[in-house]
Amino acid sequence: MNTRNIALGMLAATALLTESNTVAADDFADAIYFGGPIVTMIRDDDRVEALAVRDGIVIASGEKATVLSLRGPTTKMLDLQGRALMPGFIDAHSHVVQQALKFSVVNLDPYPIGDVKTIADIQRKLRARIEETKPEPGKWVFGWGYDDTALEEMRHPTRKDLDAVSTEHPILLMHISSHLMSANSKALELAGISAETPDPEGGKIQRTRGGNEPNGVLEEKAMGFMLGALPSPTPERSLEMLEYGLRKYAEAGITTAQEGGAVPGMLKLLERGDEAGVLPIDVVSYPVFATLDDATFARVAAGWSTPARYRMGGIKLVLDGSIQGYTAYLSKPYHVQPGAGTEVEADSCGSDVGMKMVLGGDAMDAVYEAHEAPVLEDDYRGYPNMTLEEVVKWVRAADEAGIPFLAHTNGDAATDTLIEAVKQVRKDRPRPELRSVIIHAQTMREDQLNFAANQGLVPSFFPIHVQFWGDRHRDIFLGPERAARIDPARSALDRGMKITLHHDAPVAGIDILNVVSAAVNRRTTSGKLLGPKEAITPYEAFRAVTKDAAWQYFEEHRKGTLEAGKLADMVILSEDPLAIDPMKIDQIEVLQTIKEGKTIYPANPG
């Protein structure tokens, strides 16, 4: 970045004009945007008439007449034609590598996250992929995200269903939980799974009723049989997959993304992507504690605060699981206890097989720690993923090195553990300058918000839960009282805290406008209001994915608002996001995404 241009803000440019009445050729703008609301996000309802960009930096914004004085013979005049320009979205928490994998295979997410309602939908989508990509005979076809409990048939697709799509290509589908998969006959054959194969310890090969033939569904450790048969993607293929995934983020208006749970194979891939120059947007990664070695920790400590196209920004702790998987660690029992047949998921992070699909064999030693299966009792509260001692160890390591941590806590008992660890490490000395983040923070209580406010811990909420899972949180997992307080954004803001909002892709898609809409409207899928007291305003919600998300990354001096001196990371939207009826926020379209002055979506802007 050219520091001279940063210094040359609008004031400097105007002063230059008054003094000499001419503008030197290299002081002209590369582009000037005008003709639509330019939402700066500096404060609510702050709009300017025009904005000038040079060398990837905003050099002026304000009244059209003033900004137009930077127009030179080569300046592109870009008329917004009534559409809105605002800062690019900053992803406060997701998992870009896993999401990239999900983009590279057939997406089988259930409605309303995706569009799959029946086994016929799955077959149609697989056939379309084969039709479209015309793989050579014998090449694998992968799908990800089907949910047997959300299919009309209420069962898994079997080898028969998948053989109906192809017997020539091996087909392998990953369940939405990453704990089961379904394969066709060709895939079973290549993996050497037959009627004679015994079930492995800790896993099951489902069999046909009344017979011993595998029906295609593999549970838990039985998925390991597939590992030997799967092709390892070439380094080139992995890079292509990463770039494609990041371009999809750009399509959603995101100009800075997160890898919020990186294992060594992912870190390697991101570094290779950066070296190869194929990252279209900025990526900040957080190596996960379980696989973090001393050398990587030292590299995080050395470079976490230096802005770059790619950097490691801190470390990631995972204190519990997910509420809808009955693995979040709550201080009071779940509203409806999990039934005998309930599948309790260890965590939502990708399985070994999934990792191999994207990263090849080198990721195999680096997956998350396995959990002991929980004992289900009448007063089941979920369970922790880390002991207090472990949390203390990592909070201390981060604090002593002066680096931020991201701590995943969904249940309030997990948040209690984090608070206890912070108390033990920090005593009475808060470390707000580290801007450490509580990821999800979904069931934070009032007393916990007070503690976080005093300590400068930053809650990053997951409001899509209000929408996608809200009805089930009220009726099944949390009950009406706790569900109404889920993702307590209003309570946090009322304490003067900064918050951010996220979608945790690949869990709930990558649409930031859905995230904002859920935080503002708090409507569940069935249309009911859930905890309207925790609703926030459109400006507050958009601020949590622009200005304050930039602050979370220590980049508020260069990102998050549209003003002179900041990066021209911007998005053009079909509507003014702060003027539209809030119920229609999720219908706004991302028309163009600009990273440091360059249009990265669409690929060929008209």
Q: Please, what is the minimum distance in Å from the beta carbon of residue 444 to Zn ion?
A: 16
- Give the DSSP letter of residue 481: H
- Give the DSSP letter of residue 348: S
Q: What is the dihedral of CA 277, 281, 286, 292, to 10 degrees?
A: -10
Nearer to Zn ion, 61 or 98 (CB): 98
Q: Please, what is the minimum distance in Å from the beta carbon of residue 93 to Zn ion?
A: 6
Q: How many residues does the chain have?
A: 606
Nearer to Zn ion, 184 or 327 (CB): 327
Q: Please, what is the minimum distance in Å from the beta carbon of residue 460 to Zn ion?
A: 10
Sign of CA dihedral 115, 116, 122, 124: negative
Nearer to Zn ion, 416 or 504 (CB): 504
Nearer to Zn ion, 335 or 408 (CB): 408
Counting Cα atoms < 13 Å in the Cβ hemisphere of 532 gives 3
Rounded distance, CA 503 to CA 516, Å?
10
Rounded distance, CA 485 to CA 487, Å?
6
Rounded distance, CA 434 to CA 270, Å?
24
Rounded distance, CA 2 to CA 121, Å?
51
Q: Could you give the 3-state DSSP secondary structure of residue 490?
A: helix
Rounded distance, CA 257 to CA 260, Å?
9
Rounded distance, CA 50 to CA 63, Å?
6
Nearer to Zn ion, 170 or 506 (CB): 506
Q: What is the CA radius of gyration of the chain?
A: 25
Nearer to Zn ion, 504 or 540 (CB): 504
Q: Please, what is the minimum distance in Å from the beta carbon of residue 209 to Zn ion?
A: 38
Q: Please, what is the minimum distance in Å from the beta carbon of residue 318 to Zn ion?
A: 8
Q: Please, what is the minimum distance in Å from the beta carbon of residue 33 to Zn ion?
A: 34
Nearer to Zn ion, 156 or 316 (CB): 316
Amino acid type, 92: A
Nearer to Zn ion, 504 or 576 (CB): 504
Q: Please, what is the minimum distance in Å from the beta carbon of residue 585 to Zn ion?
A: 23
Q: Could you list the residues that contact Zn ion (CB under 5 A)?
A: 504
Nearer to Zn ion, 171 or 507 (CB): 507
3-state secondary structure 306-345: CCCCEEECCEEEECCCCCCCCCCCCCCCCCCCCCCCCCCC
Q: Which residue is nearest to Zn ion (CB)?
A: 504
H helices of 34-94, in order, are 64-67
